[in-house]
Each structure stands twice: as C-alpha cells, then as structure tokens.
Amino acid sequence: MKNLVVISFLLILSSCTPMKRAQTGLARGIAGSSDTRVGGHEVYCSQGEVCSEVEVVAIAMEERDGGKVRVTLKNRTGNTALVQIRLEIKSAQGELLTESRPENFVLPPTQEKTYEMPGIARRGAFVRVILNTAY
Amino acid sequence: MNQKILLSGLSLFMALIFMNCASVTKQPKRTTILDPSQEDTLGGTGTSSADIRSMAERMAREISNLAWPENMQRVRIALTTIDNQTRFPINPNVIKDRLLTDLVEFSMGTKIQYTENPAGADHFLSARITSLSKGSSMGVSDYLLYSFKLVGKDDTVVWMKAYETKKQGKTGVMYR
C-alpha cells in the first residue's frame, strides 16, 4: 500500500505535462489550426473552424512603404460572423517588420467585406493574416 | 483484498491527476485578467477597450502617412478636444492618450510633431463621438460614430476619418 502511494505520487508529478499535451493536442486535432497561402501572402487560423466559416478571398498590399493592406473576407455562414484579425508584415526573409493590433471585424451573413489597414504596407514584403475567434 | 486496494489507489491517482494539474486557462475566480483587445463577458453596447485600441491605431497610421507639401519643414499638430455626445460617460482622455501614444510611435522619422498646446501648432486634431441609440423591452442597440478631423490654421479640413461600431445587447451594463 505504501509503495502504491509513493508510485502514485511520482506518477502525478511526472504525468501532468504529457497528459495536458495529449489533451491540447487532441483539441488541436479536432479544432485544427491551419496555414494557407492566398496570392503570395499567408493566412493563419488558430482554429480550423474560423477559416471554415470565414474565408480569406484576397489579400492586396500597396507596393510602397506606408501604403494600405486590404484583406477581403467572405462569411460562408448564414449568421453574422465576428473574427479577430491581426496583420503581420514580413520581409522576404521572414523578418517581422511591423504588425497591427488584433481588431474585431464583423461580417454580415453570407457577405464579402474588405478589411483595410492604412499605413502598414512595406515595399517588397508579404502579409501574414492571423484570424482568431474574437472572444 | 489486494485488488480492492489497487483499485482504490488507481482511483485516487486518477482523481489527483485531474485536480493537481495546473492550467494557464484557469484564473482566480475573483479577477480574470484579459488582453485589452479582448471583449469581456460583461457585454455592453458602448465603447470597449478593443474599440479604443483599434481606432487609435487606425487614425495614427493614417495621419502619420499623410503626404505634406515639400516646402513644409515640419508639421506641428495639436490634439485638442474629444467631444463626447453619447449617453455613455467615457473619459475622453482614454482615447486622447491612446491616440497620442500611437501618433508619436507611428510618426517617428516623419516631419510631424505633436503637442497638447494649441499655441504654436499649425494643425489641430479633434474628435467627436455621436450615437444613435434604440431601446425596447428586448434590449438596446447603439451605433457609435467616432469622427476624427485634422484642421489647418485657416479652418480648412485637411483630413477626416470615421470609426464606427454597432452593438446590440441587454440593458443593465453600467459605464463608469
């Protein structure tokens, strides 16, 4: 009995991390983050559900420093969609040049809408769009 | 008997695993710490911290990338008033301070300088918050329009931009 208690205690100490990893790994496997490319730019969805409901149709960046970035999104559902969008501007080597704050963006049911961020574009860079649930 | 002890030990072990594991998603019940860009669970149809952060960034990025006449050595912009004409008691300095922080950050290396003293400024940045509110027994709806305006010394509007929100919810959330 004494041995069992000692073994149990040791197992508890060592099992938290692998158990949590298994749990979160399972959750990720079900929810599924995704990385896709749209017109030479990147789109990252923290949960696959976000990108299955809201689709990034196009990404455009003005080819000048301080220009605009436009991301066209489509709500594929019949309900109002709320996503949290963040932009990262990266050099061709992958260095982060600038980034925007997360911003809540609402899309009416079934509609396409363009999210625009002024002053963030960098010449020769590419955009990484990060989509999350807003709450 | 041995099997009984083994089963009790195993149950205890499983129970302890689930109880003992710390998680970054568990916070003390009394206070929950949120990211300022995150919406809280209290709701409310007025201005949120996420709105302030988003609008300040947008306006600051716009202003810092404005094209100015080549002959202007420097542009001195004074932040003047933020006129709140909504039913929500917002401290305008929250918007003003967030905006000024972003303006200074995004205008580094440009010819724009900012001041809170209108004397000596050649342009004046002001904002007005107006709203359209509806209410019924079902709840409330508020459309908020934040208009930012940059005016020259000769009263010419040099630049103007709006930020809008529309939120619907239940009554009972107080803004202080």
Mean pLDDT by 10 residues, chain B (176 residues): 68 60 72 86 89 96 93 93 92 94 94 90 96 91 96 94 94 77
Cα–Cα distance for residue pair B8/B152, rounded to 1 Å: 80
Q: What is the pLDDT of residue B142?
A: 94
Q: How confident is the model at residue A70 (pLDDT cuts 50, 70, 90)?
A: very high
The whole domain housing A3 covers: 1-31
Q: Are residues A16 and A48 in the same domain?
A: no
Nearest CA in chain A to B63: A119
Evaluate whether B95 touches B127 at the Cβ level (below 8 Å). yes
CATH number for the domain spanning B79: value is 3.40.50
- The shortest C-alpha distance from B37 to chain A (Å) reads 6
H or E element: which one contains A6? helix A2-31
User: Where is pLDDT greater, at A129 or B175?
Assistant: A129
Dihedrals phi, psi of A8, to nearest 5 degrees: -60, -45
Q: What is the pLDDT of residue B141?
A: 94
> In this structure, which amino acid lies at residue B62?
E
Evaluate whether B149 touches B127 at the Cβ level (below 8 Å). yes
Cβ-defined contact of B39 to A118 (cutoff 8 Å) = no
Q: What is the pLDDT of residue B10?
A: 66
* Average pLDDT rounded to a whole number, residues A107-120: 96
Residue B108 lies in a domain: yes
Predicted TM-score (pTM) of the model is: 0.81
Q: What is the pLDDT of residue A55?
A: 93
Q: Are residues A96 and A45 in the same domain?
A: yes
Q: What is the pLDDT of residue B1?
A: 59
Evaluate whether A128 touches A44 at the Cβ level (below 8 Å). yes
Residues 6+ apart with CB under 8 A from A135: A82, B38, B39, B41
Nearest to B152 by CA among B118, B129, B128, B109: B118
CATH number for the domain spanning A57: value is 2.60.40.3230
Residue B55 lies in a domain: yes
User: Domain tally for chain A?
Assistant: 2
Cβ-defined contact of B9 to A20 (cutoff 8 Å) = no
> In this structure, which amino acid lies at residue A104?
N
Cα–Cα distance for residue pair A35/A26, rounded to 1 Å: 18
Residues 6+ apart with CB under 8 A from B135: B141, B171
The whole domain housing B63 covers: 49-169
Q: Is the pLDDT of residue A43 over 90?
A: yes
- Which residues in chain A are contacts of B50 at CB distance < 8 A? 102-104
Cβ-defined contact of A16 to B17 (cutoff 8 Å) = yes
Q: Is the pLDDT of residue A111 over 90?
A: yes
Cβ-defined contact of A4 to B53 (cutoff 8 Å) = no
Cα–Cα distance for residue pair B123/A44, rounded to 1 Å: 40
* Average pLDDT rounded to a whole number, residues A64-91: 95
Residue B9 lies in a domain: no
